[in-house]
Amino acid sequence: MTEGEIRERIVAVLCESGINRERVLGERNLAALIDSLKLLELTAAVEECLQRAIPDAELTEQNFASVPALMSMVSRLSAGAA
């Protein structure tokens, strides 16, 4: 799966909460917009896209603060899998 496809999957999961796309993409504190269940769904979606578990050390507030932060984590994890 390409990074663009993963990004779109992340945005889709976040938008399932009724948050519009522009707000999701511009938000710098996603925790303020989603509940813990949505966070678990988001984590599961990223793991499914990467076809691997996210290491515990990567499960930080900073990595899940915004779509760019999530994509930075995805890039690191993808590079580590190669």
Query: What local confidence, expressed as pLDDT, does residue 82 receive?
Result: 53
pLDDT value, residue 32: 85
Q: Hey, is 38 helix, strand or coil? A: helix
Q: Which residue in the block uniquely carries the two structure tokens 């994890």?
A: 77
Confidence of residue 80 (pLDDT cuts 50, 70, 90): confident
What gap in Å lies between CA 74 and CA 47, rounded to an integer? 9
Q: Tell me the residue type at 49.
A: C
pLDDT at 17: 81
**Inter-residue contact 37 to 13 (CB < 8 Å):** no
Give the chain's domain count: 1
At 38, which CATH number?
A: 1.10.1200.10
| CB atoms inside a 10 Å sphere around CB 21 | 11
pLDDT single digits (tens) 10-58:
999 999 988 899 999 999 999 888 899 999 999 999 999 999 999 999 9
* Domain housing 61: 3-81
The answer to whether residue 73 scores a pLDDT higher than 70 is yes
> From CA 58, how far away is CA 54, in angstroms rounded?
6
Task: Report pLDDT for 81.
Answer: 67
